[in-house]
Structure 1
Amino acid sequence: MSVKPIKIPGPGHPITVEPAARRILVKLGDHIIADSTNALVLQEASYPAVYYIPRQDVDMAALERSSHSSHCPYKGDASYFSILEGGDRSRNAVWSYEDPHAAVSAIKDFLAFYPDRVDSIDALDEA
């Protein structure tokens, strides 16, 4: 059994998690998959910012847990979901850190979406 590395964010690889300042809306076709005013934005090093949305703001009935997983030494093990109506395009479109490392514990059980596997991820002024 191999031990997965754990890395701590720092000056060489910073990670911040903050409340999103806007309403986040995720759509696939005409279907609103997520709609949240309680999302978090995670900024990791020079990567694009990622919105993490609480499960209660996601249409979980539209998702199916997949067997896919991945590991990030800074965040932990990610579980994946596919969006049923998206077919092959939306396979493993959604990920979640269900037991993240302490440095990013705020994203526990939140969901994030790959932008190219949904039609839109919009940050809107609150309506």
Structure 2
Amino acid sequence: MPPRPLPAGPGQESVWAYPRPPRLEHTSRRLQVWLGGMLVADTTQGFRVLETSHPPTYYLPRAAFVAGVLSPAPGRSVCEWKGEASYWTLSMGGRCEVAAGWSYERPTPAFAPLARAVAVYAGRMDDCRVDGVRVTPQPGGFYGGWITPDVVGPFKGEPGTWGW
């Protein structure tokens, strides 16, 4: 059954208006990540990737992370648009989340600004915020989008969405 996009209200974006292939945008919104009860990343110099049916995936510059929080994790994957992803373990305050972040060290030319920026799975962190608003992780565990009140779905990853 095809998805029925929800109508976007004032100040909202529909993920069904996002393009495919995805679009990369710089964002000056404040992006924050907490792990182990501590703020481990904070920036207003991030990026967001917008793709049809997905909430935005936010990438933070490596310099936004507290020193020592990130360490290389095993594994690799490939995105047809961005290239080969490397994974990162995040550790702080007694918490260790293996492969909870990823980056594109040598992205495709269209996504070159993402080089060395890191995205994290919000569901594996204590808290992630966009401009002070707590995000909801994209459903399903596979995707890394951050849902805020200013985006509407339905979102890829919810039950019954595998074929979208």
Is this a same-fold pair by TM over 0.5?
Answer: yes
Match of 1:22 in 2: 29
Match of 1:70 in 2: 77
Confirm or deny that 1:43 pairs with 2:17.
Answer: no
RMSD (Å), alpha carbons: 1.8
Indicate the structure with greater helix content: 1
SS at match of 1:59: coil
In structure 2, list runs of 5 or more residues that go unmatched.
1-17, 133-164
The 8 Å contact of residues 31 and 130 in structure 2, kept in 1 or not, is answered as yes
TM-score if structure 2 supplies the norm length?
0.63
**Aligned-pair identity (%):** 32
Q: Distance in 1 between matches of 2:114 and 2:88?
A: 16
SS at match of 1:41: strand
Structure 1 residues 106 and 115 mapped into 2: Cα distance closer, same or farther (>3 Å)?
A: same
The counterpart of 1:58, out of the listed 39, 61, 65, is 65
Deviations along 1:42-71, one digit per CA (max 9) or x if unpaired, are 112221211110111112401220121111
Structure 1 residues 26 and 12 mapped into 2: Cα distance closer, same or farther (>3 Å)?
A: closer
SS at match of 1:91: strand
In the TM superposition, residue 78 of structure 1 has moved relative to its aligned partner by: 0.5
Amino acid across the alignment from 2:27: A
TM-score if structure 1 supplies the norm length?
0.80
Match of 2:39 in 1: 32
SS at match of 2:99: coil
SS at match of 2:50: strand
Match of 2:122 in 1: 115
In the TM superposition, residue 106 of structure 1 has moved relative to its aligned partner by: 1.4
Match of 2:104 in 1: 97
Structure 1 residues 64 and 45 mapped into 2: Cα distance closer, same or farther (>3 Å)?
A: same
SS at match of 2:110: helix
In the TM superposition, residue 29 of structure 1 has moved relative to its aligned partner by: 3.2
In the TM superposition, residue 14 of structure 1 has moved relative to its aligned partner by: 2.8
